[in-house]
Amino acid sequence: MKFDVLTLFPELFDAVLGESIIGRARQNNIIQINTVNIRDFSLNKHRKVDDYPYGGGGGMVMMAQPICDAYLSIAEKLSYKPRVVYLSPQGRVLNQEIVKELSTEEHLILLCGHYEGIDERVIEEIVDDEISIGDYVLTGGELPAMVLIDSVSRLIPGVLSSEESYSQESHYEGLLEYPQYTRPYEFSERKVPGVLMSGHHENINRWRRQQSLKRTYLKRPDMFERLSLNEADRKLLEEALKENEE
Ligand SMILES: COc1ccccc1CNc1ccc(C(N)=O)cn1
């Protein structure tokens, strides 16, 4: 999978995407991440890429021409039109379902806005999707772009090793992860739940599913109500919630 990122701050990406899982995937060429500096496409001798908003008001707006020329510098070489995702507070909020959808693309162009945003005509001209990573305002679209690259890359075959990829299952059938423990057995007078020490895998899986159901019910009712539970799950949850009341 290939990501082309149109940004004013290409150097931001190397630090974050050079490390760990994503860094390894880049080295193994399972994913490619290329940054394009929008400022390189300014026609202005001062490399100007923003200007005052028509209609007045505070802040600056990114001009259309440098962004569209940066886009064309990529698109004109391709025989297909790559999907262009604009990271903005107005986009549909990213979730694992959208991440899965994006991971099926061969090539994504991510457009990172800055200042108060970009000239609307860029959105009309080249943007296919507007995506937000949550309802809050950031300085630029770069952090959201890194979040998108990280979450999507984890779903690309070969990026996660077999152990690492395990977490994809439990997490992403719409349930929160069960509690995790590792050595030592006792820490600050707190012991590991007995069932995890039993070696009884059926009971361990049952306990884990029960914990996931309970946590999702208690911590994320919005996620919980989207679940369709079978009888066994409903019983597991009931039992767990009864223990809570005791
Ligand atoms: C005022 O900033 C903008 C205004 C319009 C577009 C882009 C920006 C850049 N900032 C962003 C970008 C994305 C997100 C998000 N929630 O995904 C938050 N902030």
Q: How many A from CA of 5 to the centre of ligand 1?
A: 15
Residues with CB under 6 A from ligand 1: 87-89, 113-114, 116-117, 132-134, 136-138, 140-141, 144
Is there a common fold for 2-161 and 169-243? no
Question: Taking the domains of the chain in order of start, what are their residue ranges?
Answer: 2-161, 169-243
Please tell me the residue having the least CA distance from ligand 1 atom 10: 140
Atom 1 in ligand 1: which residue has the minimum CA distance? Answer: 116
Per DSSP, the residues of the chain read: -EEEEEES-THHHHHHHTSHHHHHHHHTTSSEEEEEEGGGG--STT---EEPPTT--SS-EE-HHHHHHHHHHHHTT-SS--EEEEEEEEEEEP-HHHHHHHTT-SEEEEEE-BTT-B-HHHHHHH-SEEEESSSS--SBSHHHHHHHHHHHHTTSTTTS-HHHHHHHHHHTTT-PPPP---S-SEETTEEPPGGGGS--HHHHHHHHHHHHHHHHHHH-HHHHTT----HHHHHHHHHHHHHHH-
CA-closest residue to ligand 1 atom 5 = 117
The superfamily (CATH) of domain 2-161 is SPOUT methyltransferase, trefoil knot domain (3.40.1280.10)
- The pair of three-digit structure tokens given for residue 172, joined into one six-digit string: 């992403």
Q: Measure 137 CA to ligand 1 centroid, in angstroms.
A: 5
Closest ligand 1 atom to residue 141 Cα is 12
Q: How far apart are CA 138 and CA 235, in angstroms?
A: 43
Minimum CA distance residue for ligand 1 atom 9: 140
Whether the link from the prior residue into 82 is cis, omega within 30° of 0, is: no
Ligand 1 site-directed mutation target among 63, 88, 135, most atoms within 8 Å of CB: 88
**Neighbour-count burial of 133, counting CB atoms closer than 10 A to its CB (0-12 exposed, 13-18 middle, 19+ buried):** buried
Of 175, 163, 183, 159, nearest in space to 217 by CA: 175
pTM of the full structure: 0.92
Q: How far is the CA of 220 from the centre of ligand 1 (A)?
A: 25
Per-residue model confidence (pLDDT) at position 141: 98
Residue positions forming the annotated binding site for S-adenosyl-L-methionine: 113, 133-138
> What is the per-residue pLDDT for 46?
96
What tokens were used for 110? 């991510």
What is the layout of strands, in order, in the sheet containing 107-112?
32-37, 2-7, 107-112, 83-93, 129-132
Dist CA 103 CA 152 (whole Å): 5
* Buried residues in 23-39 as b, exposed as e (16+ CB within 10 A): eebbeeeebebebbbbb
| 143 CA to centre of ligand 1 in angstroms | 10
- Report how far ligand 1's centroid is from the alpha carbon of 28 (Å): 32
CATH among 1.10.760.10, 1.10.1270.20, 3.40.50.300, 3.30.70.260 for 169-243: 1.10.1270.20
Mutate to test the pocket of ligand 1, among 114, 122, 137 (most ligand atoms within 8 A of CB): 137
ipTM comes to: 0.98
Of 80, 134, 138, the residue nearest 109 (C-alpha): 80
**Cα(110) to centroid(ligand 1), Å:** 13
* Residue written as token pair 């991971």: 103
Residues (pLDDT < 70) of the chain are: 166-172
Locate the ligand 1 atom nearest the alpha carbon of residue 132 and give its number. 17
Average pLDDT, the chain: 94
